A = this chain, B = another copy of it.
Amino acid sequence: MDESNIHADRSWVVGIDAGGTRIRARLADAAGGPALGEGAGGPGNALSVAPGALARHLTEALRAALPSPTEGGSRHVRAVVAGFAGGGEGVGRERALAALARALDAVGAAPGAVEVYGDAEVAFAAGPGAPADGLVLIAGTGAAAARVERRRALRVVDGDGWLLGDAGSGYWLGREAVRAVLRALDGRGPDTALAGPVGEMCGGPGKEAVLRYAYEGHPVRLAALSPLVAGAAAAGDGPARELLDRAGVELCATVRALGPRPGEPLVVTGGLVGPGGPLLGRLVEGVREWGLVPVPVPDGVAGAVALARLAGSLDGASP
C-alpha cells in the first residue's frame, strides 16, 4: 500500500502572510476547520527582500507548516494563497509569484491553484466571514489603508514609507518620540518622561547619543521606540499622550480619504491597531462618526487561508 493513501481523502489549503518582518504559513483543511499546521520564516517583503532569500524564507515557513515529507502531505495541497508586503502589483507581484513557485517546488507541492495578493488584501480577508468588499487599515511598522472590492485593493492611501508617509505608524511614533526628546533637550518643546527610556535605548541621555543612535542605523529601526510612547502615555506623560493622539488622527485621516460608507467592514491589523493595540481605542472613537466599527485581526494568515479555500473550490480541486 502506497503511503500516500494514508491521506488519500484529504484536501488541504495553505495560507501565507508574508510581512516585512516575517512570513507566516498555515495549513488547513480545504473544507474548513482549524489550523492543521503552522510555520514561520524570515522577512517576506516582495520588493525589498532579494529573490533567493524570499524563496528560502517561504520554503522555511512551508516546511514547518506541512506534515513531514515521509507522510507525503505536500501532494494533498490543493490551493495556496499568499499575501505579500510589497506584492500587490507590478514588479513586487512578479517576484512574489516566482519565489512562491520555487518554494512550492522545494517542498514538493504542486497545488492546482496558486495566487498572490498584497498584504492589505489578505488582512482584509481575515475579517469575520472573509468579506469581499470594504476597508482595511494596517498600522504596524508602516501604515496604509485600502478600499477592497471583490477581494482586490482598488485604492491605497498612504503606505508612502518612512521618509514621506506611514503617518501614525510605529516608525512614525518612534521618530516623533525622538524628536520630542530632542526638542525638550534644547528647550524648544516641553519636558517629557520619554527622555529617560529613549535615552536608555540610545545609549545616553544627551543629544549626542540620541543623534548617533538615530543616524547610524537604518531610520526604520526607530520603530523599535514606539512601545516607549505607549508606556510613557500610560504613565501619564503629556507629550507621549499627545503623540498617540496625533497618530490616531493621522490613521483616521488615512481611513477617511477612502471615502467610507456607513456600515461597511473596516478590518484593522498591525501592532498599533490589531487586537489590544495602543491606538485601537482612538481609532474606534475616530471612525464612529462615519458609521464604521473597526474589526481588529492579528494578521492576514486567516485571510490567506480563506482565500485559498475559495481558490481551491473555484479550481474544482476540493472534494
- Give the distance in Å from the alpha carbon of A115 to the alpha carbon of B52 in the complex: 55
State whether B165 touches A179 (Cβ < 8 A). yes
- Give the distance in Å from the alpha carbon of A254 to the alpha carbon of B182 in the complex: 12
- Give the distance in Å from the alpha carbon of A128 to the alpha carbon of B253 in the complex: 49
Is A246's CB within 8 Å of the partner chain B? no
Q: Which of B157, B164, B207 contacts A211 (CB 8 A)?
A: B164
- A187 contacts across to B, CB distance below 8 A: 157, 257-259
- Give the distance in Å from the alpha carbon of A32 to the alpha carbon of B78 in the complex: 88
State whether B182 touches A160 (Cβ < 8 A). yes
Query: Nearest residue in B to A250 (C-beta to C-beta)?
Result: B188
State whether A257 touches B188 (Cβ < 8 A). yes
State whether A163 touches B175 (Cβ < 8 A). yes
Q: Which of B158, B178, B186, B253 contacts A156 (CB 8 A)?
A: B186
State whether A160 touches B257 (Cβ < 8 A). no
Is A161's CB within 8 Å of the partner chain B? yes
State whether A253 touches B164 (Cβ < 8 A). no
State whether A188 touches B219 (Cβ < 8 A). no
Query: Which residues of A from 156 to 203 have beta carbons under 8 Å from B?
Result: 156-158, 160-161, 163-165, 175, 178-179, 182, 186-188
Q: Which of B155, B178, B186, B214 contacts A157 (CB 8 A)?
A: B186
Interface residues of A (CB under 8 A from B): 155-158, 160-161, 163-165, 175, 178-179, 182, 186-188, 207, 211, 214-215, 219, 253-254, 256-259
A-B contact pairs, 7 of them (CB 8 A): A157-B187, A160-B211, A163-B175, A163-B215, A164-B175, A164-B178, A164-B179
